[in-house]
Amino acid sequence: MGNKVPPALRYIVFIIAAFLIVLRLTAKEPARMLILSGQNNHEWKKTTPVLEKMFTGSGLFTVSVTNRPDTLKLVDYKRFRLIVSDWNSFPDTSARWDPSKEEAFSQYIKEGGGALFFHSGGSSFYGWNDYHNIAIGRWGKNTEHGKIGEALVQFSDSKNPITKGLKDFTIIDEIWQNTDICPDAKPLGWVQKKDSNGNLENEKYPAIFVNEIGKGRSFYTIFGHDEKVLSNPDLQKLLIRGAAWVCGDRAEVSGYFGTYNYRSDRKPHFHPLISPSGTILTAESPKDHLWHMGLWFSWKFIDGLNYWEYTGDPTRHISEGMTEIESIDIDSTKQGGYEINLKIVYHPWDNKESPVMKEVQQIMVSPREKDKSYWINYQFTFTALKDLLLDRTPIPGEQDGQSWGGYSGLSLRLNNDFRDLKYFSESRDDANYGDKNRWVACDFDNGRGMREQVIIFDNSVNPRYPSPWYCINDSATPMFYFSPAILYKEPIKLKKGEVLHLEYKVYLPARPLNRDAIDKL
């Protein structure tokens, strides 16, 4: 057999190499990818399965496919880290989607979604500038190609994570010349065709590009005419790296619950938090309170330093006190649910060497019930590294008391688009600042004429159970927020080495429950 490596083994080696060199994604959690398919002036029925096998086989992605991208809403896109387009409307370049669907696509990318386009996957919607900036390349008035032939792919940017360490490679493909590229795209490589004798022709054509749109990223290459081309191991390596790059270093895990974020520049939080019916329940960094992060936990003051608002370095969204994630472990194999374990340290934003408290946090997202209802269970264990005071803004009746004082702890900032919002508890048909309750439910019209509900439960293991609550129902701002506010009545003092343990549950029912039904949960 000599020293020849079997083609199948060569393929495996290439894919493993792509995996090892590729930039880091998230802890133990493949990125969720959606392939847009179902229409193309190329043979999408043959190319989409190749893409699906390639990206799944890399181990970096879990892949879903839709043949109706024109029906997708923002909430649909938000379930995925990136989209890959094997879809176009060509030759009908004037075609458009419904305006709401176009807005959803643009918003998804601008808010941090990723997009990968190849060959003719961006040749659509020539009157929609946003789409061209995201898709990067399309067939233009002066674009042309010859017969499928051999060419040399070369890289012009050796520092980009996509191309770093990659060697030039040969490809047999339909080579586009004078591709219509959006102005802001950055080229990463070019291609040189070979003549019938295998010699390189003089002309080089830009062939690989990236772009950044708002918080989102996109990748485009002219390569990938058919399933044979897409089976080229070197091109596959490039596409896998491109897909990983558009995911960026956004640390997050997505599932039926929406997305859990653990970026270094934000407190860990759920956003979007998705209801059983598919509604986005949360608001993240609304203009009125940039530090409100969907469903999240935060202390207000620790030893007088503000860990809540961005007062340490507001231009960088940094609080005086830092809530820093030291480690995170995510397990999505818990019988259909998710387990998230974090270790967190608290310290002044400008003095990491002086930590004041550490935290071990566990979040269990339950498997969905038959009607798609599910639970989110929190456990927090805080250990004081010095004598310290957990405090909040004073409430009315105290020195310098404020009507809006008292908040701290597990908090839920709801979607600003909700209407007719109402709170109730086990004993009251409303919920006021400072009322002690075992649980508080929030009912609302989701903006589409459907009533939904979120319930937060205090736990009897918590000190000061049942907690005072902090509930805001301000439709003018709008601002909808509620929280079991353990510090509402008074601060908590911890001695060095003392431990504080807290537990809460959040229930997302498929339909609103009455008081008796909630009490039986």
Domain of 20, CATH number, reads: 3.40.50.880
Tell me, yes or no, whether 442 and 306 share the same domain. yes
Confirm whether 2 is domain-assigned.
Answer: no
Q: What is the pLDDT of residue 263?
A: 76
Query: Are residues 203 and 278 located together in one domain of the fold?
Result: no
Query: Residue 403 phi/psi, 5° resolution?
Result: -65, -25
CATH number of domain containing 497: 2.70.98
Q: How many distinct structural domains can be found in the chain? A: 2
Per-residue pLDDT tens over the stretch 486-508: 999 999 999 999 999 999 999 99
How many other CB atoms sit within 10 Å of the CB of residue 170? Answer: 12
Q: How many CB atoms lie within 10 A of CB 507?
A: 20
Smallest CA-to-CA distance from 264 within 280, 246, 252, 281 is with: 252
Contacts 24+ apart (CB under 8 A), 144-149: 144/176, 144/177, 144/178, 145/174, 145/175, 145/176, 145/177, 146/175, 146/193, 147/174, 148/172, 148/173, 148/174, 148/225, 149/175, 149/193, 149/194
* pLDDT confidence tier of residue 1, bands split at 50, 70 and 90: very low
Tell me what the mean pLDDT of segment 434-453 comes to.
95
**CA quadruple 258, 264, 265, 267: dihedral sign:** positive
| pLDDT band (50, 70, 90) for residue 134 | very high
Residues 240 and 357 both lie in one domain = no
Instruction: Say if 125 falls within a structural domain.
Output: yes
The residue range of the domain holding 330 is 252-519
Least confident of 126-140, 149-163, 221-235, 386-400: 149-163
Indicate the range of 12-21, 69-78, 82-91 predicted with least confidence. 12-21
In a domain, 315, yes or no: yes
Secondary structure class of 241 (helix, strand, coil): helix
Quick check: is 225 in a domain?
A: yes
pLDDT band at 316 (very low <50, low <70, confident <90, very high): low
Q: What percent of the chain has pLDDT over 70?
A: 92
User: What average pLDDT does this structure show over 265-292?
Assistant: 93
pLDDT average, residue stretch 79-105:
95
Residue 405 CA to residue 399 CA, distance in Å, equals 11
Closest CA to 189 of 170, 179, 173, 204: 204
317 and 231 share one domain: no
CA atoms within 13 A on the CB side of 235: 26
Structure tokens at 207: 């062939």
> With contact defined as beta carbons under 8 Å apart, do 268 and 342 qualify?
yes
Classify residue 465: in a domain, yes or no.
yes
Q: Is the pLDDT of residue 9 over 60?
A: no
**Residue 29 has what pLDDT?**
64
The last residue of one of the domains, among 220, 247, 274, is 247
Helix, strand or coil for residue 343?
strand
State residue 19's pLDDT score. Answer: 44
Q: pTM score, two decimals?
A: 0.63
From CA 340, how far away is CA 361, in angstroms rounded?
Answer: 8
Q: 337 and 446 share a domain?
A: yes
Q: What's the whole-number mean pLDDT along residues 110-139?
A: 96
pLDDT at 249: 58
Structure tokens at 106: 């643009």
pLDDT in tens, 281-310: 999 999 999 999 999 999 999 999 999 998
Structural domain ending residue among the three candidates 214, 247, 280: 247
* Domain-located, residue 307: yes
Question: Based on the domain organization, do 280 and 238 belong to the same domain?
Answer: no
pLDDT at 314: 60
Specify whether 49 is located in the same domain as 194: yes
Q: Is the pLDDT of residue 68 over 70?
A: yes
pLDDT at 329: 85
* pLDDT for 191: 97
Residue 52 in this model has a pLDDT that exceeds 50 = yes
Structure tokens at 502: 């807290």
Residues 363 and 469 in one domain: yes
- Check whether residue 139 and residue 181 sit in a common domain: yes
Q: Using N-to-C axis directions, what is the helix angle for 233-247 and 44-57, rounded to 10°?
A: 70
The predicted structure's pLDDT at residue 508: 98
Sorting pLDDT into bands at 50, 70 and 90, what band is 384?
Answer: very high
pLDDT digit string, tens, across residues 167-214: 899 999 999 999 999 999 999 999 999 998 999 999 999 999 999 999
pLDDT at 21: 38
- Same domain, yes or no, for 393 and 256? yes
Averaged pLDDT, 47-56: 96
- Does 210 lie in the same domain as 175? yes
**Domain end marker among 226, 247, 268:** 247
- Same domain for 289 and 240, yes or no, is no
- Is 1 within a domain? no
Q: Is residue 39 part of a domain?
A: yes
Poorest-pLDDT segment among 16-25, 252-261, 347-356, 427-436: 16-25
